[in-house]
């Protein structure tokens, strides 16, 4: 699978199928990543759409310093931070809407993760600090290396190594409370 850079170049050259391929390849992972910021799957879907709208409208320049996926997730992170910075902190939601959100989130997780171990990890990670969630998600589910994670989170590689260590220890502690042992930690 192409890393998305050639599809983006084709889109910039006028081929609309390029952006369609990018959206198809990256939307699900981006939604789950953005859900770590918002804790609301519907808002995460909106932010994913905003990320792709930003690509279509502003057509930012992609430099090959990092992979396309790293660059795209950085844009998504910036969109999420802007949203959180400008949104009201109180949201009134009915119980029925909350049940729909939970069922939608569970369905999306199961479709994307498929393995029981990854589902348990994902749910346990939601109880961790936001920074821990981000670094673990990018590492475990998106297979980013520390350099790519550092680029997305705008931190040094050393900061990411320290953050990853603390995040793994926190996740291990949460998993131990559940009686779950994960060999990847």
User: Is 14 part of any domain?
Assistant: yes
Q: Where are the beta strands (DSSP E) in the chain?
A: none
Shared domain check, 90 and 10: yes
Reported as a pLDDT band with limits 50, 70 and 90, residue 44 is very high
Shared domain check, 144 and 88: no
Report the CATH number that the domain containing residue 130 is assigned in CATH: 1.10.10.10
Report the CATH number that the domain containing residue 37 is assigned in CATH: 1.10.1740.10
- Domain total in the chain: 2
Q: What is the pLDDT of residues 47-97, one digit of tens each?
A: 999 999 999 999 888 887 888 899 999 999 999 988 988 875 545 555 556
Shared domain check, 64 and 11: yes
Half-sphere exposure of 34 (CA within 13 A, CB side): 32
Q: Is 57 left (phi over 0), alpha (psi -120 to 50) or beta?
A: alpha
pTM for the structure as a whole:
0.63
Distance CA(178)–CA(173), nearest Å, equals 9
| Lowest-confidence segment of 7-16, 123-132, 154-163, 171-180 by average pLDDT | 171-180
Q: Give the count of beta carbons closer than 10 Å to the beta carbon of residue 13.
A: 8
CB 37 within 8 A of CB 45: no
């Amino acid at each position: 699978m192409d890393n998305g850079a050639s599809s983006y170049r084709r889109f910039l050259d006028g081929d609309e199928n390029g952006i369609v391929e990018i959206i198809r390849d990256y939307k699900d992972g981006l939604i789950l990543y953005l859900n770590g910021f918002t804790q609301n799957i519907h808002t995460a879907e909106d932010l994913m759409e905003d990320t792709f709208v930003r690509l279509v409208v502003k057509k930012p320049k992609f430099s090959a310093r990092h992979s396309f996926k790293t660059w795209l997730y950085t844009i998504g992170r910036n969109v999420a931070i802007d949203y959180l910075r400008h949104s009201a902190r109180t949201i009134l939601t009915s119980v029925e809407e909350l049940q729909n959100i939970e069922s939608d989130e569970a369905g999306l997780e199961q479709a994307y993760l498929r393995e029981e171990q990854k589902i348990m990890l994902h749910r346990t990670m939601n109880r961790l600090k936001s920074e821990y969630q981000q670094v673990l998600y990018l590492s475990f589910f998106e297979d980013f290396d520390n350099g790519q994670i550092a680029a997305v989170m705008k931190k040094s590689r050393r900061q990411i190594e320290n953050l990853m260590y603390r995040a793994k220890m926190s996740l291990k502690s949460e998993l131990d409370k559940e009686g779950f042992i994960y060999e990847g930690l």
